[in-house]
Structure 1
Amino acid sequence: MATIRARKRTDGSISYTAQIRLFRDGAQVYQESQTFARKQAAQAWVRKREVELDQPGAIERANRVGATVKEMIGRYLLEMAKARPLGKTKMGTLNVIRESYLGEVKDQDITCQTLVEYAVWRMSPEGGAVLPQTAGNDLAHLGAVLSIARPAWGYAVDPHAMSDARKVLRKLGYNMRSRERDRRPTLSELNKLMEHFEGILAYRPSSINMLKMVAFALFSTRRQEEITRIKWADLDEEGSRVLVRDMKNPGQKIGNNVWCHLPPEALAIIQTMPRALDEIFPYSAESISASWTRACKFLGIEDLHFHDLRHDGVSRLFEMDWDIPRVASVSGHRDWNSMRRYTHLRGRGDAYENWKWYQKILLAPVKLGARTLK
């Protein structure tokens, strides 16, 4: 049974509230209502909904309580933590989404329009005025949750909502693709950072040895999370290579273990580390990132990420006339398109051939703090 009631708004205009109530055996089993500005729209909605609700199982689906985006993200984080903790960027992004208004949206209400509205809201002043690329990252991380919410947990998620939303945003002119970074540290910037970290070690010897961390990241082209996972058991000194476990890869992140060649500078740094623990660099990736960020801020070095050391390391090898397969044996890249994003050449030759800090880095003593000892 459906009814349409006209109501006068405070501004004098008329709205039309359409209400559908369904009964079985004298008991009401379903109720739904919507308000429209035009009576014809209300009548069209009633006809459409009555046809939909007449389908087998429609009332049961409509009465389903469902799960919110916040609940789905919470479950995703819990399940993923059992396999391997997520990166801080993805974790932070998902936490922002679930605490936003989108977090209260139910699974069956996630549509292309809902996702487009959220992305546009994120780019507005009210949503944080983020760049389109950041909004695109939001959708990408949320998409990882939605992609398994339906098949793994049975949530009523439209499997086409996310892909349709991305198509709509592209049609609207938003470039949601991540901007390729071409930032590399200059030798002057690295010299300032080394001097800063040397001063910290002189004052606090048991702090993270950022001299060795920074240099190893540059010469090995390894990510900070990968560096902190490397164990002595993963090192093949004779073959000058190391087993990088769970290397980041879009198609396979967990169990993607890759043997990577170590340039002589990187192997030499490893050989100066104490064999006191299972890990070669027994530090926290989060603490390394925080130390790097504080140093750059203190020194006035703008827009330089720790990950840019990987860019610098890959570019350096090409500047030394290494070919693609040889560089890939160090970086772990599987194809040129991926490696190209890390390649930003400045010239020819090894810019670090006579680097004044290299010998200091090798000779720098390592004192492991109480937090790193077992």
Structure 2
Amino acid sequence: MGTITQRNKKDGSKVYGAQIRIRRDGAIVYQETQTFERKPAAAAWIKKREYELAEPGALEKASKVSVSVHDAIHKYLDEYGKLRPLGDTKRNTLKAIAASWLGNLLLADLNSQRLVEYAHWRIGADGGAVQPQTVGNDLAHLGAVMSVARPAWGFDVDPHAMTDARLVLRKMGMVSRSRERDRRPSFKELDALLLHYAEMQKRRPASINMLKVVGFALFSTRRQEEITRIRWADLDEAGQRVLVRDMKNPGQKIGNDIWCALPDEAMAIVKSMPQVCAEIFPYNSDSISASFTRACKFLEIEDLRFHDLRHEGVSRLFEMDWDIPRVASVSGHRNWNSLRRYTHLRGRGDKYVGWPWLAKILAAPVDLGAREGGR
């Protein structure tokens, strides 16, 4: 039964607090309060809410905690991110969703229709005119938040909203997986890049030694973030392998430490680096990426990414007739399906035999400047 209490404000006016309390077996299982300036309005609200709460399932739904999509996302980033640190892409994507109009919705109101509306908006000009692959990534990251919001925090979430929305969007062609790249650098492109970096090294000896970095990426198949994390303490010279910490993996990243074999060329490049810092390549990952992007733009090399060097390195090993387990021992892949996307073979044998740039990379001097003793 609802109750109404009168309260006098500082200016002498009156307000009326309407409260509903529902008890079961003597214990309060639900309560709700609203304030009104007129007593009849308070009484009408009590009557209306008591009628609504009498409907089957209404009390259980009203008892659930509801927050905005924005708040749910940031709770996920703050709490879940501490237990299992998230990658920059996922974190930035979730922050962007939280800052969009979707973030203003209550999580309880996030149904399949609103998710489909969000996908339409993202593909449109106002939402960034993104590709279906990006929409798919957005929904995948948001789905991770929704999957823990109810069981972990008791938030009101429609358990079928994301599944239903993705089913509809797939039929409409508005979500899809990322396209598998088959881009590999040509010798002409590598010649241009390495000549560019050799000349840059002469002008600025203490800059990032991209000759070493590009060569190591190509022959070791390591990602740029992994290259900058490898420490001398992680090198097993006798076993010709290196411990790659926090290797990227769909199900796990932090703590996913994998021993990876180093082909002869990669090992030789490691030995050509001075042992004056904790890291073998004491450079910033973002700076490497920016340098590679600028060089490709300057040289008018189209659609080439640093990650394509990994693609080239893995494909080279298959062209040398290495079997799957041996290639995986270098690349760190756990299954053939993941490894398959990097293999676009273009002949047989090792086309890098006698490659003149390898000797130049090994002989290139390294000036770490202020990096010595630290990053």
Q: TM-score range by the shorter chain?
A: 0.7 to 0.9
Mean alpha-carbon deviation: is it higher for 231-240 or for 244-253?
244-253
Describe the SS at the equivalent of 2:207.
coil
Q: Is the 8 A contact 1:30 1:59 kept in 2?
A: no
Bigger Rg, which one = 2
Percent identical pairs in the alignment equals 63
- Per-residue displacement from partner, 1:83-139 (whole Å, max 9, x unpaired)? 675434333322322222112222212222221211121111221111111111111
Q: Supply the AA of the counterpart residue of 1:251.
A: G
Q: Is the 8 A contact 1:146 1:157 kept in 2?
A: yes
Matches within 5 A, 1:85-234: 86-234=86-234
Question: Structure 1 CA distance, aligned partners of 2:55 and 2:170?
Answer: 31
- Provide the aligned length of Structure 1 versus Structure 2: 334
CA RMSD, 1 decimal = 2.6
Question: Structure 1 CA distance, aligned partners of 2:84 and 2:286?
Answer: 15
- Per-residue displacement from partner, 1:53-92 (whole Å, max 9, x unpaired)? 763344444xx5x332223333333346546754343333
Aligned counterpart, 1:328: 328
Aligned counterpart, 2:342: 342
Counterparts in 2 of 1:28 and 1:92: CA distance versus 1, 3 Å: closer
The alpha-carbon deviation at position 238 of structure 1 amounts to: 0.7
Aligned counterpart, 1:14: none
Aligned counterpart, 1:71: 71
Q: Supply the AA of the counterpart residue of 1:193.
A: L
Q: Supply the AA of the counterpart residue of 1:245.
A: R
Question: Structure 1 CA distance, aligned partners of 2:166 and 2:32?
Answer: 40
Aligned counterpart, 1:365: 365
Aligned counterpart, 1:56: 59
Could you list the runs of 5+ residues in structure 1 that have no partner in the other structure? Answer: 1-21, 32-45
Describe the SS at the equivalent of 1:316.
helix
Q: Supply the AA of the counterpart residue of 2:71.
A: E
Tell me the TM-score normalised to structure 2 length: 0.81
Describe the SS at the equivalent of 1:260.
strand
Counterparts in 2 of 1:49 and 1:172: CA distance versus 1, 3 Å: farther
Describe the SS at the equivalent of 2:356.
coil
Describe the SS at the equivalent of 1:301.
coil
The alpha-carbon deviation at position 51 of structure 1 amounts to: 6.2
